[in-house]
A = this chain, B = another copy of it.
């Protein structure tokens, strides 16, 4: 078996066998297959696709490139959630404590923001002292004791993904469903979980912009997880406008805390509860989804979810006082209002533009090495469908740097559209795929 033979086979549109996929991933990890052969294979996979069996084998081979966490010693079902990335998407910070409060064990390994989408780790790190790099033993203790622990990728889990992802990034092979599936599922299944709830975003601010693309990705993710013996369910949810009102790291922590108090915006609360309910249901802690939803909402109403978030922050070295005194979180020096230039109905808030504006303020990164300003961001004062009057504030820019504020402002030109007639927004919860 040689890399060339495997390349030729995929080039000619044939399916690779599990042993061929293992060989190439292993040889790449060991440096026996150079980047230039792997990148040619990535392009062939991008253009010729992969079967469900190939995706499963690729996921398995990538998991095999490193360790798999052993969480078997922790009683209870271990369930995680993964989102394909959105703007203002802080559901992890809400649903993880909610699910944990209901008895789910949530071992969550998250990523950082890249491009216009935010990352859970960056949001958590805006809490003073919060540590996202914990030794595996302490991570395990957190899951067992508190019910959740939120950390970053370790060097030992799926090392093949780091190299492959970096290569995909520079060879225009990121947007390939088989490669996305293997990257997501290998990292999640290496966590040693029993089940996974997926939030596949669709819309202007998402990676997948059409329902068809999103359904194709969701199907592939669910099928691959199932083929590996895991419970997997995917919700396809709207990402046209930002989720909630706040975009930016500390600003999103503030809104998450409000939502855990039962004072969150409707869309964010609905989606967080829905995803938490899926986790609760998957953990067999409720007989059906309606009961799981009620159980989830109760964890907010009775304050248990907020208490668990407080414990989680403390366990991970953060200043848990932020939960009750959000002013302890970093705040930007200046704010500037964006106002409506006409009266009517707000029909569009372009999530991608808002996400890019937040990035330009310093809240995100274009390259992995870029530093993050935790304080900056955008706070929406109206949402799609709201009636607005000329001169009314649509959003506030929280900034630390005048020049960046101007850049962000320019980016927001045209991000808001006001029409004479209301236009019904597409539903937030679009579809549920459970194999």
Contact = CB atoms under 8 A, between A and B. Distances in A.
A37 B4 contact: no
A65 to B, nearest CB: 19
A41 B170 CA distance: 11
B172 A36 contact: no
Contact of A47 (B11, B35, B167, B170): B11
Nearest to A45: B43
Contacts of A138: none
A289 B326 CA distance: 91
A46 interface: yes
A170 B7 CA distance: 9
A145 interface: no
A173 interface: yes
Nearest to A176: B11
A173 B40 contact: yes
A171 interface: yes
Nearest to A11: B172
Given A39-B39, A41-B43, A43-B47, 20 more contacts: A4-B172, A7-B172, A11-B43, A11-B47, A11-B172, A34-B36, A35-B35, A36-B38, A36-B39, A36-B170, A37-B39, A37-B170, A37-B171, A39-B40, A39-B43, A40-B171, A40-B172, A40-B173, A47-B47, A47-B48
**4 closest cross-chain pairs (CB), A and B:** A7-B172, A40-B171, A35-B36, A43-B43
11 contacts: A7-B171, A34-B36, A35-B35, A35-B36, A36-B167, A37-B39, A37-B170, A37-B171, A39-B40, A41-B43, A43-B44
